[in-house]
A and B are shown apart, each in its own frame.
Chain A
Amino acid sequence: MTDTSIQTQVQQGDAGFSDFFALLKPRVMSLVVFTALVGLLAAPVPVHPFIGFTAILFIALGGGASGALNMWWDADIDRIMKRTQSRPIPAGRVTEGEAMGFGAFLSVLSVTMLWLATNWVAAAILGFTIFFYVVVYTMWLKRSTPQNIVIGGAAGAFPPMIGWAVATGGVSVESVLMFTLIFMWTPPHFWALALFMKADYHEAKVPMLTVTHGRKATRSHILVYTILLAPIALGIAATSIGGPIYLAVSLILNALFLKGAVDIWRRDETTAESDSYRTEKKVFGLSLLYLFGHFCAILLESGLRAYGVGGW
């Protein structure tokens, strides 16, 4: 027998470094990093740059760990849906056990390191975020209620609160409002996507609102959540992290987003299909700009405040 006759096919367990990195859901991590950074920089207490960098790194790692645990639990439905079939577990590059061990290890590491680097409040919120995303959303709500995206969205809303807690060691009106902004933004953002991305949730038995209540009801839900979102977004302007620039940006973005939601609500499926869901796609793109714009405005106000010109 020679060396070359030994089994050399890529098998389960022969994952490359990039496969483990993919388990961390890097695209989701970028939103976590950005919003946590804004929460940290907008806080009234300055943080040492190195400690701030370490905190953001471990918040991102905690978010990534929950992504890995989500992929471990959802491996069965990821194999069914086309969009997720190329993920490391359904593609056979990483075993379910490896993903679970990897996610659990990184969860403990990220929470412990955030605690040692900053304070227990930030670490506790990060730990709760991981628990909420993995247990409450992934294991419980995702497959049992069409409101999964609403309640599950809370997990993605915690990072600015963690960033704020890193700096201040506590929770305040400002950090809760930043949380609520993302929490209320998630449903219209995701449902706009669900309207034109006809994913195979039905085959995977995931009760998405578009499947359980129909597309007309989804359009109404988008409008209701967008209306409820506006006062929260505008309310931030009146707090210590807001200011005239934030207010102006928020007024414009809310007007555009509300108009988009009304446009979606007034359309029916025939019209939407005839122009390949142009309005739905536009509103989805706008929703990304909406969140990015609000957090950039908070960051700008915070930066200007350092020169004595930001805020009211």
Chain B
Amino acid sequence: MALKVEHEMHRRRLGRNVGLGLVLIAFVALVFGLTLVKTKRGDFNTVPPSQAEGSN
């Protein structure tokens, strides 16, 4: 007799945990992607481009 019996309850919990894990990974990737895009576009620049050029 198998020591560990797979029940509906275990299957549901595993599905929920794996699903949540994947969602969290996707969320981290999304925030990382957003940060990259916004940084490249200069959304986080506090100094206006004209002033930045003038100071050089």
Contacts and interface: CB of A to CB of B under 8 A. Distances in A.
Partners in one complex: yes
Interface of A: 3-4, 8-11, 14-18, 20, 48, 50-51, 54, 57, 116-117
Interface in B1-56: 3-5, 7-13, 15-16, 18-20, 30, 33-34, 37-38, 41
A20 B37 contact: no
B30 A14 contact: no
B34 to A, nearest CB: 6
Contact of B9 (A9, A17, A48, A51): A9
A20 B34 CA distance: 26
Contacts of A15: 12, 16
Nearest 5 pairs between A and B by C-beta?
A17-B19, A16-B12, A8-B7, A16-B15, A17-B15
Contacts of A17: 15-16, 18-20
A15 B20 CA distance: 12
B34 A10 contact: no
Interface of B: 3-5, 7-13, 15-16, 18-20, 30, 33-34, 37-38, 41
Contact of B12 (A14, A50, A116): A14
25 contacts: A3-B3, A3-B5, A4-B5, A8-B5, A8-B7, A8-B8, A8-B9, A8-B10, A10-B8, A10-B12, A14-B9, A14-B12, A16-B16, A17-B15, A17-B18, A17-B20, A20-B16, A48-B37, A48-B41, A50-B34, A50-B37, A51-B34, A51-B37, A54-B30, A54-B33
Contacts of A48: 37, 41
Contacts of B37: 48, 50-51
Contacts of A54: 30, 33-34
Contacts of B18: 17
Given A10-B12, A17-B15, A18-B15, 8 more contacts: A3-B3, A3-B5, A8-B9, A14-B13, A16-B12, A16-B16, A50-B33, A54-B33
